[in-house]
């Protein structure tokens, strides 16, 4: 039930200010997702979608920091 899937925003329809909708690509599939609760999103951003709504923007910087920390841990133990 709490399954949420990351997808990439293709475009955002701002015509209804009460219900901003984005076209979002999930792998090969596309779907309309409400981005009503996210103010700082634009085409190209990744969001986490759940039952037709975007819960959050996926923070690219944080994702990179996490993966880099893991890789550095790996390299410190094994050499680059």
Partner 1 sequence: MKHIDEYRDRELVLKLSERIAREISRSWNIMEICGGQTHTLMKYSLQQLLPQQINLIHGPGCPVCVTPVEMIDRAIELAMNPGVILASFGDMMRVPGSHTDLLEAKAKGADVRMVYAPLDALQQAMDHPDREVVFFAVGFETTAPAVAMTVREARRRQVPNFSVLVSHVRVPPAMEALLGSELNRIDGFLAAGHVCTVMGEAEYRPIAERYGVPIVITGFEPVDILLGLHTLIGMLEGGRNEVENAYTRSVRPEGNLQAKAIMGEVFDLTDRNWRGIGTIPSSGLRLSQDYEDFDALRRFSLKETQQAEPGVCMAGEILTGRKRPPQCSAFGSACTPEHPKGAPMVSSEGACAAYYAYGSAGEDPRPQESSINEH
**Binding site residues, partner 1, CB under 8 A:** 1-4, 6, 8, 18-19, 26-27, 34, 36-38, 46, 48, 50-53, 55-56, 58-60, 62-63, 65-67, 70, 73-74, 77
Rounded to a whole number of angstroms, the minimum distance from the CB of residue 30 to partner 1 is 13
Rounded to a whole number of angstroms, the minimum distance from the CB of residue 48 to partner 1 is 5
Question: Under DSSP, is residue 50 helix (H, G, I), strand (E, B) or coil?
Answer: strand
Rounded to a whole number of angstroms, the minimum distance from the CB of residue 38 to partner 1 is 8
Structure token pair of residue 38 = 């996210």
Separation of alpha carbons 73 and 79, rounded Å: 10
26 phi/psi in degrees, rounded to 5? -115, 100
């Amino acid at each position: 039930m709490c399954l949420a899937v990351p997808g990439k925003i293709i475009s955002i329809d701002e015509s209804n200010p009460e219900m901003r909708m984005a076209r979002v690509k999930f792998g090969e599939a596309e779907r309309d997702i409400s981005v009503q609760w996210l103010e700082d999103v634009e085409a190209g951003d990744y969001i986490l979608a759940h039952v037709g709504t975007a819960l959050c923007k996926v923070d690219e910087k944080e994702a990179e920091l996490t993966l880099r920390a893991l890789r550095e841990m790996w390299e410190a133990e094994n050499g680059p």
